[in-house]
Amino acid sequence: MSSDVTIWHNPACGTSRNTLAIIRAAGVEPTVVVYLKVGWDSATLQRLVDGAGQGVRGLLREKGTPAGALGLLDPDVEDAVILAAMVEHSILVNRPIVETPKGVRLCRPSEVVLDILENPPSRFAKEDGEIVSL
C-alpha cells in the first residue's frame, strides 16, 4: 500500500528524524525519499517549491553547502539558476520537506508537519526530550 505522505529525508539530520517520527506517531508510514542518495529532478523540486510557497530561495540550504561558493546567495541570481544548482547538488535543498494531501511544508522546526497531517498526534517527544503538544 502506498502512502499519500512523502518526506524528503536526511537521516543524519535531527530535525528530519523528528519530523519522520512525528509522521509515524500520527499513524502514517510515509514514503521516505533519502534525497541525498537518489537526487532530485527539476519537475519534482519545482512542484515542492510551488507547494511550499516559499520560493526557490526559501528551500535553499546555505549552512554546510556550496551555496556561497556557487554564487547562489547573490540576490540577483535567478530562480532557475538556483533550481538547476539544487538538482545538480542535492545538499543545497533544505530539509525535511513533507508533502501530504493537505500541502507541502519545509518542516523546520519539525512540528510544522503537524499542520499538514490528517490526524496529528496530540503530544510528541522529540529526540532531545522536548515535548510538542497540539
Closest CA to 46 of 1, 77, 83: 83
Q: Would you call 107 a catalytic residue per the annotation?
A: no
DSSP one-letter string for 83-113:
HHHHHH-GGGB-S-EEEETTEEEE-SSGGGG
Q: Which of 3, 7, 13, 133 is catalytic?
A: 13
Query: What contacts 59, CB < 8 A, 6 or more positions away?
Result: 48, 49, 52, 86, 93, 94, 97, 106
Q: Are strands 6-9 and 31-34 parallel, antiparallel or unpaired?
A: parallel
Q: Report DSSP state, residue 125.
A: E
Positions marked active-site: 13
